[in-house]
């Protein structure tokens, strides 16, 4: 009986060591805070947002994200899908990027989107920007094609590549690419 107990203790100890050594667990432990440093290039606003702490989204911080990612044409604010923040956060972690996320476009009101759609072939009539599900971004410390490839690899939504405008569109809609 005593021996059995000791054995199972040893087994438990070995299992714990294995768990600690597991990179997956290490990642979880490091993810107690999910943070994004967002820089809205149109308004010049920059903010570091700890938007997820210890297993839950932080409502006030999500509101700050909604505000920072508003339609800069008319200051209309819309809820930004938290999964979109997670997607960008994950991209940065995969790429080892610590730079600000430079945001070219976040939320777009229907009016702004319609005006842009009229003047640009690259703007969809029913863009996911209108649902707070898309961002056009670049990272100061990652080449644009690497950012695009990492986004494609995640298979987490749509990825659009705009090298001439120097940004990548990411969204949390259906998986597709252009």
Going residue by residue from 133 to 172, which x/- string records binding to Zn ion, judged by CB under 5 A? -x-x--------------------------------x---
The continuous run of DSSP H or E covering 111 comes out as: helix 110-119
- Comparison of 61 and 105: residue with beta carbon closer to Zn ion: 105
Query: Per CB under 5 A, does 108 bind Zn ion?
Result: no
The CB-of-29 to Zn ion minimum distance in angstroms stands at 34
Tell me the DSSP string of 52-89: EETTEE-HHHHHHHHHHTSBTTTTB--PPPHHHHHHHH
SS3 161: strand
- Comparing CB distances to Zn ion, the nearer of 58 and 160 is 160
Please state the closest distance from residue 166 (CB atom) to Zn ion, in A. Answer: 13
Of the CA atoms within 13 Å of residue 33, those in its CB half-sphere come to 7
Neighbours of 29 (CB within 10 A): 9
> Is residue 71 part of the contact set for Zn ion (CB under 5 A)?
no
For residues 29 and 91, is the Cβ–Cβ distance under 8 A? no
Q: Which is nearer to Zn ion, 58 or 130 (CB)?
A: 130
Question: Rounded CA gap, 119 and 17, in Å?
Answer: 59
Q: Which is nearer to Zn ion, 58 or 135 (CB)?
A: 135
Q: State the nearest-atom distance from the C-beta of 154 to Zn ion, in Å.
A: 16
Interacting residues with Zn ion (CB under 5 A): 134, 136, 169
């Amino acid at each position: 009986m005593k021996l059995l107990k000791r054995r199972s203790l040893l087994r438990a100890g070995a299992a714990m060591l294995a768990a600690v050594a597991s990179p997956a667990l290490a990642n979880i432990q490091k993810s107690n805070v999910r943070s994004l440093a967002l820089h809205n290039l149109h308004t010049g606003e920059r903010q570091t947002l700890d938007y997820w702490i210890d297993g839950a989204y932080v409502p006030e911080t999500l509101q700050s994200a909604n505000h920072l990612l508003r339609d800069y044409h008319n200051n209309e604010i819309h809820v930004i899908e938290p999964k979109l923040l997670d997607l960008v956060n994950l991209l940065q972690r995969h790429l080892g990027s610590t730079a600000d996320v430079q945001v070219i476009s976040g939320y777009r009101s229907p009016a702004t989107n319609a005006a842009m759609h009229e003047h640009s072939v690259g703007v969809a009539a029913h863009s996911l920007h209108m649902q707070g599900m898309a961002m056009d971004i670049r990272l100061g410390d990652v080449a644009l094609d690497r950012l695009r490839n990492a986004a494609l690899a995640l298979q987490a939504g749509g990825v659009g590549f705009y090298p001439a405008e120097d940004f990548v569109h990411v969204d949390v809609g259906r998986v597709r690419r252009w």
